[in-house]
């Protein structure tokens, strides 16, 4: 019996020229020369906690609750012994606060039991902790330790990297793979910070200010309607 050919269409990989990647990187560097993580932190532990809390939540909202959280639990040892209800009470204004409280306590226990209370500096060790995915680990390694373990792909990075024609993938994992292959390693950390700044200020979801965007001259605006040329 003949085997039927699959009717599922494979996603065609978009060809991205090295020249376009260089132009994007240069333009971002020129317009956003000084960028940094906007989660307020003073050590690796605080950054890890804040990043876990930032899932599906703005940095500004996280920064509103972390001072009280860090005052009560200034290190992994105290957080590992925290009562779930007490942590929930502090972070209840954030989305998914119950799951996040569980992850925070679990993460702290893992750090204490497996790493003597010291935040690990490898991707594998970090992602082995409860509630710590690749994105969170990349944030901590890149921002605090200066280790380019990968490219942080949040909603801004995913959307804008597609608009800029840097990837045609849709999942964060595959988008990160594309960006890691195409970007110079020394740009892995700050590239995300720059796209996030661009996304918050100009390339806003569903209402991008294309005419004001510093990337307009080199952005193919993949998936967006053609701009009007009427004066």
Contacts of 21 (CB under 8 A, 6+ apart): 166, 182, 183
Segment 57-65 mean pLDDT: 96
Q: Are 85 and 75 in contact (CB under 8 A)?
A: no
Q: How far apart are CA 155 and CA 171, in angstroms?
A: 11
- Active-site residue flag, 135: yes
User: Six-digit token pair at 49?
Assistant: 């906690």
DSSP secondary structure, 186-221, as one string? GGHHHHHHHHHHHHHHTS-TTS--GGG-TTGGG---
Contacts of 9 (CB under 8 A, 6+ apart): none
125-151 pLDDT, tens digit per residue, is 999 999 999 999 999 999 999 999 999
A 10 A CB-CB count for 15 gives: 8
Segment 160-171 mean pLDDT: 96
pLDDT confidence bin for 11, thresholds 50/70/90: low
Closest CA to 69 of 135, 48, 38, 116: 48
Q: Are 58 and 228 in contact (CB under 8 A)?
A: no
18-36+151-218 classified as CATH 1.20.58.220 = no
186-216 pLDDT, tens digit per residue, is 999 999 999 999 999 999 998 999 999 999 9
Q: How far apart are CA 134 and CA 125, in angstroms?
A: 11
Would the annotation count 37 as a binding residue? no
* Portion of the chain with pLDDT greater than 90, in percent: 88
Q: Catalytic one among 135, 174, 209, 230?
A: 135
- Active-site residue flag, 154: yes
**In the prediction, which pLDDT does 224 show?**
79
User: Six-digit token pair at 39?
Assistant: 């989660």
**In the prediction, which pLDDT does 6 show?**
47
**In the prediction, which pLDDT does 173 show?**
96
**In the prediction, which pLDDT does 191 show?**
98
Q: Catalytic one among 72, 75, 154, 174?
A: 154
Length of the chain: 231
pLDDT confidence bin for 8, thresholds 50/70/90: very low
Would the annotation count 219 as a binding residue? yes
**In the prediction, which pLDDT does 221 show?**
85
Q: How far apart are CA 144 and CA 150, in angstroms?
A: 14
The residues spanned by each domain of the chain are 18-36+151-218, 44-143
CATH level 3 topology of 44-143: Endonuclease III; domain 1 (1.10.340)
């Amino acid at each position: 019996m003949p085997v039927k050919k699959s009717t599922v269409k494979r996603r065609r990989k978009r060809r991205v020229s090295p020249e376009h990647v260089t132009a994007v990187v240069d333009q971002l560097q020129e317009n956003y020369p000084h960028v940094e993580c906007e989660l307020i932190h003073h050590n690796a532990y605080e950054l890890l906690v804040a990043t876990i809390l930032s899932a599906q939540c703005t940095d500004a909202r996280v920064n509103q609750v972390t001072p009280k959280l860090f005052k009560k639990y200034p290190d992994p040892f105290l957080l590992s012994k925290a009562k779930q209800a007490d942590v929930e009470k502090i972070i209840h204004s954030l989305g998914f606060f119950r799951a996040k409280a569980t992850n925070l306590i679990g993460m702290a226990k893992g750090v204490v039991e497996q790493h003597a209370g010291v935040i690990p500096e490898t991707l594998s060790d970090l992602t082995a902790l409860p509630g710590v995915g690749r994105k969170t680990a990349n944030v901590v390694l890149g921002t605090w330790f200066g280790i380019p373990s990968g490219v942080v792909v949040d909603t801004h990075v995913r959307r804008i990297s597609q608009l800029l024609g840097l990837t045609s993938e849709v999942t964060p994992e595959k988008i990160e793979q594309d960006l890691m292959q195409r970007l110079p390693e020394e740009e892995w950390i700050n590239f995300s910070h720059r796209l996030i700044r661009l996304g918050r200020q100009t390339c806003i979801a569903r209402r991008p200010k294309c005419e004001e965007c510093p990337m307009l001259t080199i952005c193919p605006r993949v998936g967006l309607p053609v701009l009007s040329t009427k004066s």
